Each structure stands twice: as structure tokens, then as C-alpha cells.
Amino acid sequence: MGKLNCWEAKKCGREIGGGKTSELGVCPTAMESRLTGTHDGKFGGRACWVVGGTLCGGKEQGTFAQKYHNCEKCDFYVQVKREEGPKFVLSVILLNKLKASPSTRQKLQNQTADRAVVRG
């Protein structure tokens, strides 16, 4: 089995075309294109802990600063961290990707890829 995105692992139904989007809306993670490819995921699907406005236990979790403490304990976060090992991209780098301009974002993606090669 390949690496799962959060909506596949958590079966929340909030991905684009998911069964609960009419009730709960599409999750911001499922639309966060700036994180596409992070940990081999689709959109923000393998970096959901840095995306604001996600749901956990049926409650909106708020910003990264508000939710990260809970995310660190999440089984999906722990799974991604374990699967990625030394290639796990730190949250500070992911947050910079979200804040960066397109040209800066490309540089950050290249730096992330370079680190993965060096560590690998």
C-alpha cells in the first residue's frame, strides 16, 4: 500500500468530491496546492498539521499555532513522521512554503529536495 493522504487515512470525507463535503465543506488541506508533493502527498494531504481550518473530532482546529500541540499526538502525524524518517520536512519549512512568494517557494522546494538527497 502506498502513502496515504490524511483524508484517506482518517476517512473524513472532506476531500474534493468526498461524501461529507456538502455537510462539512472541502477541507483546506485538500485544496492546499502549495504543499503538493510534500512527503509524496497530494495537496496538503501529508502535511495537514500546518494547514489552518482543519477538523479533528468534529471541531475546527484553528491556526497552526493553536492546533500543533494536538497534531503532534495525532496517529496520522506520527505515521507520516515514521514513514518519512530522515526525509520528514520540518513544520517551519512547510510554514515558510505557505508564506513564500512563488519564486521563493521554488527555492524552498529545491532546498527540501537537496536535503532529502543528502540525508538519503
pTM beyond 0.85 = no
State the pLDDT at residue 98. 92
Q: Are 49 and 74 in contact (CB under 8 A)?
A: yes
State the pLDDT at residue 112. 56
Phi/psi at 89 (5° precision): -90, 125
For the chain, domain boundaries:
6-85
Share of the chain above pLDDT 70, in %: 82
Q: Is the pLDDT of residue 103 over 80?
A: no
Convert the pLDDT of each residue in 11-57 to its tens digit.
999 999 999 999 999 999 999 999 999 999 999 999 999 999 998 87
